[in-house]
Homo-oligomer: A and B are copies of this chain.
């Protein structure tokens, strides 16, 4: 066996030719999405009013184990993939752990995260259907950037509703999207009915993701030739993100390495779902054994303190309902600096796996996360996104546990992106102005009270 390099890059011919549909490997499938109008399992026809036809089909397909990746998407993937799988030699040495640590780094592209993997797929199917454009919302801005890039590539119009406080606090993210030709509107806006209604009621609101989703869905449904695109939570997004795990597995297999522990941060669940897909599929088939750990912020503890129930995916209640771990669609997480993890629910596939005891979950506090982020940056060179640093935090904990016990385990984690547009949060951390927030039982109860009784 040849020595393991610092970075493993697959060749372009080794890029996956099909996405892996994890649901197809699950004996007990995630519960079906419900139509918000009828509260019955949603039909492909109803879904196709919101999403592109092919994406509506993928959303409901829980039996095809693999779905081929179209050549046009693979060609785009070649511009920034395969992503490197890194052996964290420097981190191992610094920690003095016998554990072997690997991370799959998804930040080497201008969107700065894994979001591009699904954005290009969603843009492709929109283009193929002959649409003019897509609408979406963005909070932290990574998804909006990714979709802007994908739309620029296929010559599609892209309308992004950006949560107003982010729009104002992150002008540089907005400019990246403008560079790719997207129109970016602060939400709530006067361009939609729902936006106007909210502005009338709360004139000084700084917006929320739930509101931006509702505006984006309305903007798509009232325009000829537009559909809505979403960057996480959906089954289709997990499917596209399986490219992360598939590449990782191919690279590890070459060196005969099988991870004992697989760790990822979890907001809506897209990156974690993608990373674990082929490993979980193998385990479900009895081919291998792994521990899977979802890491979420203590300020938004969906898996660790949420309840498993059918709930709305958005605050405006216009999207389908999903059975998932949820804090209630009315739960407003405290202003966390990991904006990408401030989501009240968890994609139904991961929720079901967690319910079945096939995946663990833990929550970490914000200041611990930034401490781990800075530690990692100084040792491994990469300045991580706050979201990704949740996974770093847990990986370091696991590696130190191996040190205590003298175990040479193999730890794999997902490094979803870079923190170049999050320096305001790092500044707060450096200046000792960052606070931790853990919701009280009472606050959680209020959120739970809004979950529909079906």
Interface residues of A (CB under 8 A from B): 5-7, 9, 11-12, 78-80, 90, 108-110, 112, 149, 152-153, 171-172, 175-176, 178-181, 374, 377-383, 418, 420-421, 423-424, 426-427, 430
Contact = CB atoms under 8 A, between A and B. Distances in A.
| A interface SS class | helix
A381 B153 contact: yes
A296 B383 CA distance: 31
Contact of A90 (B79, B172, B176): B79
A152 B110 CA distance: 25
Given A175-B427, A178-B427, A179-B374, 4 more contacts: A9-B9, A79-B90, A112-B420, A152-B378
A9 B11 CA distance: 8
B181 A149 contact: no
B430 A179 contact: yes
20 contacts: A5-B11, A5-B12, A5-B78, A9-B9, A79-B90, A79-B381, A80-B381, A110-B382, A110-B383, A152-B378, A171-B427, A172-B420, A175-B423, A176-B423, A178-B430, A179-B374, A179-B383, A180-B377, A420-B420, A420-B421
A211 B31 CA distance: 66
A6 B78 contact: yes
A378 B153 contact: yes
Contacts of A7: 12, 78-79
A407 to B, nearest CB: 26
A352 to B, nearest CB: 35
A178 B373 CA distance: 13
Contact of A179 (B5, B80, B175, B377): B377
A146 to B, nearest CB: 11
A7 B84 CA distance: 13
Contacts of A178: 426-427, 430
Nearest to A86: B79
